[in-house]
Amino acid sequence: MKEGGTMKTSKSEKLMELSQAVIPGGVNSPVRSFKAVGGVPRFVERAEGAYLFDVDGNRYLDFCCSWGPLILGHADADVVRAVKEQVGKGMTYGTATEIEYRLADFIVSNVAAVEKIRFVSSGTEAVMSAVRVARGFTGRELIVKFEGCYHGHCDHLLAKAGSGLATFGQPSSVGVPGATTSNTFVLPLDNEQLLEECFKQHGDKVAAVIIEGVPANNGLLIQRQEYIRMLRSLTEKYGALLIFDEVITGFRLGLGGAAAYYGIEPDLITFGKVIGGSMPVGAFGGRADIMEMLSPLGPVYQAGTLSGNPVAMTAGLATLRKLSDGQIYRRLEEMTARFVADLKQRLENVPVRVASIASIFWLAFQQELPRSADRIERPGIETYNSKHRPLLDEGIYLPPSGYEVCFISAAHTEEMLAEAARKITNEVRRRR
Ligand SMILES: *Cc1c(COP(=O)(O)O)cnc(C)c1O
């Protein structure tokens, strides 16, 4: 492949055409469609380590990493071996299994705030269930969420702020009844005053405040420690629960996730992505007295045909076990820090900032790194989007939207990252 050349994409184009006839937009999750960045989405045939290979035979260094789960990279040999062995023993039983206990025990042992945990099949389900148990436990209905935080696609959290800075939510999707989001209060991030006001006015009705461990679905909006501490103390004061949505940050920021990073104990934590070792897994857990509200012990109903699926649990446990001595986290952090420093140095005098934490980074084409959604500059997002396609042609697979963060896996190497930094810099400096 020559530098700056355009790749052959005829097979992806053909498959997109066929898929569009039978799948809305040709995709099973909207960002995959490349709507924001243009061009044909690449149909991937296989993946290995840090690379994706598409149906036209092109190879890409993967910075999307399936949106977060792939902390070990693609097709990690140990995970694959464990999964193959389990598949041969049956793929679902609809009974309790030892492997569920093992994964639950691993998480409970590593995450201070989690005394009991239950597995589901996606992050969306985890959040939906955590919110239900929080409402059941407190007997209250109001949920406070933050603008720019994504918690999956359950109806009552698909809410955006109404007019005004802090309001009851309005549906952010057609098909969600206004009544469903009317119990969701939406606040901007990084604003102590509005948080306090919200609690003064509604505190005794708030079942829970939900926040992403580190907001990473709408840029990477790293919050100040004092702000998170205040969230913890206000929820405590008013008898509301604090839910950390750690679907991205859980076992990505380290074994203790964002809770350990900020040094706080939320009442409930939701997980997904990394804990499934690339299989569809979610989980929610926390204080035993809250979790014991769940059926069959208590009155809060929650269930799932494939919850705790043995193949998925096996993939998750094989992944987490490899992470347990901390060496992979240390290497990932060092590698990411060097890569980000390299990018920053190369991009001096260019209006682009790089936010990063652990093995997550985000390219912000603006002068200052934002801490709230309203500070993300739309022209910067458009600049990112315009660089996506040329970088794809250079074999760099960035997430196909400027609002999405990038991930580095244990399969990435210093050499791969150095080359990527060079290609990204060249493209960013090029005018189009
Ligand atoms: C991805 C994500 C979800 C939703 O998880 P799915 O598995 O896609 O349903 C929820 N919360 C956060 C913070 C996420 O990043």
Residue 165, pLDDT > 90, answer no
- Whose CA is closest to 119, among 102, 134, 136? 102
Mean pLDDT calculated for residue range 171-195: 94
Tell me the C-alpha to C-alpha distance, in Å, between residue 334 and each of 69, 76, 207, 257, 424.
20, 21, 39, 17, 20
Tell me if residue 14 is catalytic: no
DSSP string, 296-351: TTSSB----TTTT-HHHHHHHHHHHHHHTTSHHHHHHHHHHHHHHHHHHHHTTTSS
Q: What angle do CA 306, 273, 46 make, to 5 degrees?
A: 90
| 123 alpha carbon – ligand 1 mean position (Å) | 4
Mean pLDDT calculated for residue range 297-308: 98
Q: Is the Cβ atom of 366 under 6 angstroms away from ligand 1?
A: no
Tell me if residue 150 is catalytic: yes
Report pLDDT digits (tens) over 13-68: 999 999 999 999 999 999 999 999 999 999 999 999 999 999 999 999 999 999 99
pLDDT on residue 2 = 42
**Sheet containing 360-364, strands listed edge to edge, beginning at the edge strand earlier in sequence:** 353-357, 360-364, 406-407
Residue 233, pLDDT > 50, answer yes
Mean pLDDT calculated for residue range 121-131: 98
Confidence of residue 4 (pLDDT cuts 50, 70, 90): very low
Instruction: Take residue 65 and report the two structure tokens written for it.
Output: 């990493």
Pick the residue whose CA is nearest to atom 6 on ligand 1. Answer: 123
pLDDT on residue 6 = 80
Kindly report the average pLDDT of the chain as a whole number: 96
Atom of ligand 1 nearest to the CA of 248: 15
Tokens 């955006």 appear where? 160
Q: Is the Cβ atom of 218 under 6 angstroms away from ligand 1?
A: no
pLDDT on residue 432 = 58
Q: Is the Cβ atom of 246 under 6 angstroms away from ligand 1?
A: no
Tell me if residue 273 is catalytic: yes
Percent of the chain at pLDDT exceeding 90: 94
- Whose CA is closest to 43, among 33, 30, 35, 31? 33
Residue 337, pLDDT > 50, answer yes
| 110 alpha carbon – ligand 1 mean position (Å) | 21
Q: Which of 64, 124, 214 to mutate to test the pocket of ligand 1 (most atoms within 8 A of CB)?
A: 124
Confidence of residue 167 (pLDDT cuts 50, 70, 90): confident
Confidence of residue 431 (pLDDT cuts 50, 70, 90): confident
Start-to-end CA span in the chain (Å)? 22
Report pLDDT digits (tens) over 73-118: 999 999 999 999 999 999 999 999 999 999 999 999 999 999 999 9
10 Å CB burial of residue 389 (0-12, 13-18, 19+) is middle
Q: What angle do CA 202, 205, 209 make, to 5 degrees?
A: 85
Distance, C-alpha 413 to centroid of its chain? 23
For 417, residues 6+ apart whose C-beta sits below 8 A from its C-beta are 335, 338, 339, 342, 408
Containing H/E element for 174?
Answer: none
Q: Pick the more confident residue, 350 or 163.
A: 350
Instruction: Take residue 150 and report the two structure tokens written for it.
Output: 């994504």
> Is there a cis peptide before residue 69, judged by omega within 30 degrees of 0?
no
pLDDT on residue 5 = 53
Would you say the C-alpha torsion 137, 138, 139, 140 has a positive or negative sign?
negative
Atom of ligand 1 nearest to the CA of 29: 8
Q: Which of 145, 273, 387, 423 is catalytic?
A: 273
Residue 180, pLDDT > 80, answer yes
Residue 3, pLDDT > 60, answer no
Mean pLDDT calculated for residue range 357-380: 97
HSE (side-chain half, CA atoms, 13 Å) at 243: 31
pLDDT on residue 160 = 84
Name the pairing type of β-strands 159-160 and 170-171: antiparallel
* b/e 144-163 (16+ beta carbons within 10 angstroms → b): bbbbbbbbbbbebbbbbbee
Mean pLDDT calculated for residue range 248-264: 98
